[in-house]
Amino acid sequence: MVRQNMNLGSDSGIDVICDVPCVVLEGRNWQAVLSGIEGSIVFIDEGNHFVKSEEFASAIKDSDNYYVLITRENLYNLPYSVDEIYGIHSSGKYKDTRKVFQEMYRIYGSNIVNTVSPQMFIVEDSNSGYDFFHAVTAEKRLKCISAAGKSNIYECVKKYGRTAGMLCVIADGAAFGAEMNRLYHLSRQNKNVVLYLPESFEWMLLQAELLDSRSVQDILAEPEKYIDSRIYFSWEQYFTQLLVNKTADTYLQYSKKKLNPVYLHEKIKEKILSVMPKLLRK
């Protein structure tokens, strides 16, 4: 319908009601067409295999468009959130001749419950986030390893999942979308595997209210109003930069590469852990 409205305008008999232009991107000339699209919602339907390519990822990296990608593929070149993967419920047997009602729903729910007490943790990164969780788990004599990247988590879970007892995966949900399908099904098959996927470790620190900043809380409540996609390819990047800027020249000064030891001080540590489900809290 969006395509028909684009091509025929009012003669299509279709009205598109939106505050910004809605366009369809498809075909061999997608790069040339995309270069002329700004400030729009771009729909890309199934069958356009360029969405999997590095060229497409590169082309939209500095874009200010919003993209709706209709595909069953895992898009490994794009840092999309686990919370932005949807299915569509349809009703009506004869969809070409009868009115159809459709509803979007999030595919992936959380399988963490407060009663879980993991014996082992697998953390996505090997930087400050891992430093924090490794230190906290060591205090409780629990095992914590780094997967050294989100693409390695699945194999780590397969390796340790059957022997580690209750196992918890901690990864940055803001950019974990492409890895989610196989890991989610693995966690459903193995009831001892649970997933904790905050937006990012930096998002956790911001949520912990360590900073006396109303502006930070406003941003966390509605981040889509503040994050410029032309500058930040993922929300993870934005939250990191926000935390670095807000803590610069303070005792909470943050570095992604190595954890500032102040974040392990008892009161600060407990504030950070309070953001999580009851996995590592007293």
Q: What is the pLDDT of residues 219-255, one digit of tens each?
A: 999 998 999 988 999 999 999 999 999 999 999 999 9
CB 118 within 8 A of CB 111: no
Per-residue pLDDT at 280 exceeds 80: no
Contact 120, 165 (CB under 8 A): yes
Are the C-beta atoms of residues 43 and 65 closer than 8 Å to each other? no
pLDDT band at residue 62 using 50, 70 and 90 as cut-offs? confident
How much of the chain exceeds pLDDT 90, in percent?
70
Supply the DSSP symbol for 11.
G
Residue 14 has pLDDT above 70, yes or no: yes
Taking only the tens place, the pLDDT of each residue in 161-213 is 777 788 999 999 999 999 999 998 888 888 889 899 999 999 999 999 999 88
Joined together, the tokens standing for residue 35 give 């270069």
Instruction: Name the band, by pLDDT with cuts 50, 70 and 90, for residue 101.
Output: low
Q: What is the pLDDT of residues 104-142, one digit of tens each?
A: 788 886 555 556 788 999 999 889 999 999 999 999 999
